[in-house]
Amino acid sequence: MNLPTQSSPVSDPVFSPKWLEVLRDEWNRKEGLANQLRQVGFNSVVAFGVLDEEQPRAYLVIRDGEIDEVRVSTSNSPQWDIRADESQWQSWFSEPPGLLALGMAFTSRSLQFRQGNYPAMIKDPLMAESFVRSFALMSKAQKKLESEQQN
């Protein structure tokens, strides 16, 4: 895992190294998303970021459906680069969106894919379900991290 050992340049806990670690653990759990994505042989670098920023804030290196590495930067170009306003990310992590809400966000351009093919992905039922589930896991990671910080 290539995460910084000192403070991250990103102060937002949603995209912090600790948040990425919690997301990875939730994703790779037996009942997480890894098994579902393994069925389709999903291997990719997926980036998440904010619309008005040049570089993504978080990178997931996914091998055979499982998050193998989490990073706050990478020299590799992501196959998927997914962007939204910071307030939109916060909203989705408080209340994960469903497929319809994500479709509306994509249509209105409040959710943008700088890399990757959303229309093709959403036509594949397993990939569409996995995409929606990823937001639920991000919300779970956020809530788990907030709970840890309160204790």
Q: Is residue 24 part of a domain?
A: yes
Say how many domains are in the chain: 1
Residues 6+ apart with CB under 8 A from 104: none
Q: Write out the chain's pLDDT in tens, 151 residues.
A: 444 333 333 345 568 888 999 999 999 998 779 988 998 899 999 999 999 999 999 999 999 999 999 988 777 789 999 999 999 999 999 999 999 999 999 999 999 999 999 999 999 999 999 999 999 999 999 999 888 878 7
Residues 6+ apart with CB under 8 A from 11: none
- In Å, how far from its chain's centre is CA 87? 15
Locate 65 and state its tokens. Answer: 């459906």
Neighbour count for residue 37 (Cβ, 10 Å): 23
Q: What CATH number should be reported for the domain holding residue 137?
A: 3.30.1050.10
Locate 133 and state its tokens. Answer: 């589930």
Q: Is residue 5 part of a domain?
A: no
Q: Is residue 117 part of a domain?
A: yes
pLDDT (0 to 100) of residue 31 = 76
Separation between Cα atoms, residue 59 and residue 48, nearest integer Å: 7
Range of the domain at 53: 13-150
Q: Is residue 106 part of a domain?
A: yes
Answer whether 103's CB lies under 8 Å from 129's CB.
no
Residues 6+ apart with CB under 8 A from 85: 50, 51, 52, 110
Q: Is residue 1 part of a domain?
A: no
Q: Is residue 38 part of a domain?
A: yes
Q: Is residue 25 part of a domain?
A: yes
Answer whether 87's CB lies under 8 Å from 50's CB.
no
Q: Is residue 142 part of a domain?
A: yes
Q: What is the pTM of this model?
A: 0.85
